[in-house]
């Protein structure tokens, strides 16, 4: 069975040495009292919960899956999941970064980010139950009425109730303008919702006493397309005026999807048969409210992928040090054994270092974005808040798509390290691969994220936000440009920055002539910009490692070696990506459809 050890040393490095997070957070009124010791203590206890409670039920949960009683429409999560959730609630973990007004602890999003990384490493399927709830909390916190907030937020904050987002329908996925679910006003402020939703993560289960569904549906007079979508709260059990649970609402699970991964999470087909709901926000403005939850989910998927990359790496390293096969080409490295440990072989090291570089780079970038999100939410400087909000919006599709692409690469490599044992369930590696592959697809496929990045976030404002982010990189390059020791990191960082600028301009000019050029280049383009972000993070980490390389702490020696590997072996991928992005639309559209 795979094991998990929370990477607390690297988390503290990112928090306290790379980002100086406490100093940044103390400038925000909501976090003026935050301190390093408190953050460290929370992460240490969270790590224990992840490794000691969640990790031991991950493999068994994948094997058992969820069970639907078709008579009652009730779903049972795998053995141990309900008990683990009770411990989670009892420990106050759902409230970590929630508003104190509703019972939350008010800690930074950044702290919650690290907590969720550890839980995702330990058990992604289980972690999706509270993860979806937190997204529902955020949507209602931003757009709910005072009455809705008073009714639902304390319960979601405590974890007594969980939440979902119900978007997708059998005939429409990303194109929500096609959805057909209907909402009929009842004249008393409520609506009767009718329709069918599919792929609803955590849509039905036995972990909590109530499930709060956030449902997209159309009012009778709604305009066609995405401009005619409204958002509704549809609880599993209706809520009485005093906050207690009333009768069962006719919203139920009609079936469970049999997926390639995340078997421990109930991915439900949800049927709404005149279920009672209340409107969130303004009529026909539901997408704006739901986007709060969708963006949280996209950052969450990046976090899931980061967690899987880390745990796969940890286990593959242990196996590579223990497994003996063949001799090193340069001669025996373990002459006292009949063969050498496979970690001596160059390609095994390449696979391990790829996973390590993507895990540590992903952790740094995800934490950086979480810190910007804290500033966007809590700064009393409107200009700073807006700038941070824009940067989070820019980097969200990169967090989702680039980190999940990397997780697929990394978990596949780590499974390969195991050889034939890699695809045997009891070792756990093939589960990490299956789980990671899903992350590239749901919450908006990675192609959709690429279109969002290039089409909306960059070309949509003529590259203004990208230029601001690029200015940060350029300032760092200028600061370190005279350091001889930093040249191996600064030169390629400056180079990829220049190439992104030129590539963006070139694609933008093509797109003026034919908008389909955006679709032709977007996926390659996102990966190039993802590498720009990672190169920036790795160069900054390399600077810190160089400063402390003679401290005697092997942590910095390893960090520096990993940085060198990233720049030598992974960043050069951008050369081929830029070339294929520049080939444009013609090679994709030349063939007549009939010839496919």
The catalytic residues are: 443
- 486, two tokens: 């930093």
Q: Name the helix (H) or strand (E) containing 594.
A: none
| Torsion-angle region of 144 (φ positive above 0: left; ψ -120 to 50: alpha; else: beta) | beta
CB 269 within 8 A of CB 200: yes
Q: What are phi and psi of 233, to 5 degrees?
A: -90, 125
CB 280 within 8 A of CB 289: yes
Terminal C-alpha separation, the chain: 45
CB 100 within 8 A of CB 237: no
Residue 290: Cβ within 10 Å count: 26
CB 492 within 8 A of CB 474: no
Instruction: Report CA torsion sign: 160, 161, 164, 170.
Output: positive
CB 584 within 8 A of CB 520: yes
- 587, two tokens: 């090679």
CB 117 within 8 A of CB 131: no
CB 256 within 8 A of CB 268: yes
Q: What are phi and psi of 179, to 5 degrees?
A: -65, 150
Identify the CA nearest to 293 among candidates 230, 366, 214.
214
Identify the CA nearest to 315 among candidates 537, 534, 58.
58
Q: Which residues of 555-594 are buried (b: 16+ CB within 10 A; e: fewer)?
A: ebeebbebbbbbbeebbeebeebbeebeebbeeeeeeeee
Hey, is 146 helix, strand or coil? Answer: helix
Q: Name the helix (H) or strand (E) containing 142.
A: helix 109-143
C-alpha–C-alpha distance, residues 489 and 123, integer Å: 35
Hey, is 459 helix, strand or coil? Answer: helix
Hey, is 571 helix, strand or coil? Answer: coil
Strand partners, 533: none
C-alpha–C-alpha distance, residues 345 and 357, integer Å: 18
Hey, is 436 helix, strand or coil? Answer: helix
DSSP 372-386: HHHHHHH-S-HHHHH
Identify the CA nearest to 60 among candidates 126, 133, 128, 129.
126
């Amino acid at each position: 069975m795979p094991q998990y050890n929370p990477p607390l040393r690297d988390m503290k490095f990112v928090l306290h040495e790379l980002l100086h997070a406490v100093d940044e957070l103390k400038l925000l009124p909501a976090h003026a009292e935050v301190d390093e010791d408190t953050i460290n203590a929370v992460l240490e206890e969270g790590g224990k919960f992840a490794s000691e409670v969640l990790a031991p039920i991950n493999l068994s949960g994948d094997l058992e899956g969820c069970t639907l009683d078709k008579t009652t429409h009730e779903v049972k999560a795998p053995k141990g999941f309900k008990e683990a959730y009770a411990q989670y609630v009892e420990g106050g973990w759902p409230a970590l970064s929630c508003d104190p007004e509703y019972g939350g602890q008010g800690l930074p999003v950044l702290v919650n980010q690290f907590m969720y990384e550890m839980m995702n490493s330990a058990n992604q399927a289980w972690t999706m139950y509270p993860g979806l709830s937190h997204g529902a909390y955020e949507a209602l916190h931003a757009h709910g009425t005072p009455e809705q907030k008073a009714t639902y937020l304390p319960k979601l904050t405590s974890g007594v109730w969980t939440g979902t987002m119900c978007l997708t329908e059998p005939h429409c996925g990303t194109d929500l303008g096609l959805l057909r679910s209907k909402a009929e006003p009842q004249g008393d402020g409520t609506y009767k919702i009718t329709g069918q939703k599919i792929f609803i993560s955590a849509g039905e289960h036995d972990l909590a006493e109530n499930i709060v569904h956030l449902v997209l549906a159309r009012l009778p007079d709604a305009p066609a397309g995405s401009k005619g979508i409204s958002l509704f709260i549809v609880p599993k059990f209706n809520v009485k005026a005093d906050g207690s649970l009333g009768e069962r609402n006719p919203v139920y699970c009609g079936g469970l999807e049999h997926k390639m991964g995340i078997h421990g999470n109930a991915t439900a087909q949800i049927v709404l048969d005149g279920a009672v709901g209340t409107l969130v926000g303004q009529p026909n403005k539901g997408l704006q409210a739901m986007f709060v939850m969708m963006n949280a989910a996209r950052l969450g998927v990046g976090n899931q992928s980061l967690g899987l990359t880390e745990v796969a790496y940890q286990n593959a390293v242990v196996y590579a040090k223990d497994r003996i096969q063949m001799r090193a080409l340069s001669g025996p490295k373990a002459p006292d054994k009949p063969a050498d440990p496979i970690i001596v072989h160059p390609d095994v090291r390449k696979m391990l270092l790829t996973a390590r570089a993507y895990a540590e780079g992903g952790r740094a970038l995800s934490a950086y974005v979480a810190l910007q999100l804290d500033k966007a939410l809590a700064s009393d400087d409107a200009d700073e808040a807006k700038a941070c909000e824009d940067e989070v919006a820019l980097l969200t599709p990169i967090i989702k798509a680039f980190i999940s692409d990397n997780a697929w690469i990394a978990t596949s490599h780590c499974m390969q390290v195991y050889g034939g044992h890699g695809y045997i369930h009891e070792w756990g590696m093939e589960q990490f691969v299956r789980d990671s592959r899903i992350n590239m697809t749901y919450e908006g496929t990675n192609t959709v994220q690429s279109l969002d990045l290039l089409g909306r976030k960059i070309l949509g404002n003529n590259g203004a936000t990208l230029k601001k982010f690029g200015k940060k990189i350029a300032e760092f390059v200028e600061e370190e440009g005279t350091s001889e020791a930093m040249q191996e990191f600064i030169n390629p960082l400056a180079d990829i920055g220049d190439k992104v600028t030129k590539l963006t301009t070139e694609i933008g000019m093509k797109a003026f002539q034919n908008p389909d050029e955006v679709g032709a280049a977007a996926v390659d383009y996102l990966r190039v910009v993802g590498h720009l972000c990672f190169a920036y993070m790795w160069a900054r980490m390399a600077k810190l490692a160089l400063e402390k390389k003679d401290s005697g702490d092997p942590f910095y020696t390893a960090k520096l070696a990993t940085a060198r590997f990233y720049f030598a072996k992974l960043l050069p991928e951008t050369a081929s990506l830029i070339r294929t992005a520049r080939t444009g639309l013609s090679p994709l559209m030349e063939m007549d459809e009939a010839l496919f």
